[in-house]
Structure 1
């Protein structure tokens, strides 16, 4: 088993045990031939790690909070639609951004903030992960590979505490029976401390205020403790 698949399994199993609603809508994996057929419309082939992820599970059309809070893990078909929609809009509004977005494919999406975590399609050295946040003009490198992102998330969730966040009430109207089921969720979400908008914007603000150096190196150093 590869590190990527192992990391995905670790996340899935941890969430299935503690917050099953976050993985309940995930679709079965695709075959390589199905992936190739769907991806024919893209300007470049999907990196092997991305294909491996879609062979593991094909995301979903309503698959939320698998990796990050408020992010969806779209099915490949939906991801292609999101890619084409975003590229079409950028070609109308910002041709410069459109030129490099056409080679970045969205893997995870936050529709409320219009943020994508994307993979470089023509990457010669694996599958580097970039943020695409047009609202703050942030398109920086986050991880050198999809595997690194997933292993980071797996470690985070395995160390996280899940706490009770309420009760689900079930009613059987004919027999007038009530039942209560405790529900749980993660105490601190990965995004709020380690990833996406809040952390990246803090780095961007530090850079604007005079800090110089590798954005990626700074990201790794400030999230490794």
Structure 2
């Protein structure tokens, strides 16, 4: 078992044992897809390849059931998007990015075709995205994108695996059940590259 799948399984076990959590419950998460099902869904819609880590994520679980997003906030206020929902978000954001409309300038300034959303905040104004490339990579950096203001995006985690290891430790340390959110940053920083680096569009070697 890989470190990523092990971390995800530990989160799921924690959710099963803590049914009183007010923002996440394991019943809200869909079972995973097969590799072939993922390929069939993405092959004609994405101009780039999803990293292998993302295939592993969606083979483990396919995000929140439709209508369950308020109970599938995987961490903080971020919902684990199903692959189908993530593809719709990607296509919508890409379409907006091509519009000649000054009203969407923040979205256009904060969106790149190499970003694929896997977690969405409950208000739909921010995402955790993975980086997709012309060549399929093993791992992917994780960026946190917000449409509240224009800014340079930082690489929050160097890989999806490290992000999930951090969230696993947060769950098991009682960060979410005890609402000790300040302690969460201390845990996350162990899995991040400090200082955080700004993602550049030419960075395609991950």
TM-score scaled by length of structure 1: 0.69
Distance 1:101 1:19, change over 3 A: farther
Partner residue of 1:31 out of 19, 31, 34: 34
Greater relative contact order (Cα < 8 A, sep 6+) = 2
Among candidates 154, 162, 165, match of residue 140 of structure 1: 154
- Residues 1-225 of structure 1 mapped to structure 2, 5 A cutoff: 1-19=1-19, 22-40=25-43, 41-60=45-64, 61=66, 62-63=68-69, 64-92=71-99, 93-94=104-105, 97=109, 101-112=112-123, 114-122=125-133, 124=137, 126-138=139-151, 139-160=153-174, 186-188=177-179, 193-194=184-185, 216-218=193-195
In 1, the alpha carbon distance for the partners of 2:180 and 2:96 equals 31
Q: Distance in 2 between matches of 1:96 and 1:59?
A: 26
- Distance in 2 (CA, whole Å) between partners of 1:141 and 1:161 is 23
Q: RMSD in angstroms over aligned alpha carbons?
A: 2.9
Highest CA radius of gyration, 1 or 2? Answer: 1
Q: Distance in 2 between matches of 1:161 and 1:190?
A: 6
Cα displacement (A) at 1:112 = 1.3
Q: Note closer, same or farther for the CA distance 1:28–1:103 as it changes in structure 2 (3 Å cut).
A: same
Deviations 1:14-62 (A, max 9, x none): 1111037522121111011110111121111111010001000111232
Higher helix share: 1
Show structure 2 runs of 5+ residues with no match. Answer: 198-206
Instruction: Using the TM superposition, give the Cα deviation of residue 69 of structure 1 relative to its aligned residue in structure 2, in angstroms.
Output: 2.2
**Maintained 8 Å contact 1:69/1:189:** no
Using the TM superposition, give the Cα deviation of residue 189 of structure 1 relative to its aligned residue in structure 2, in angstroms: 6.2
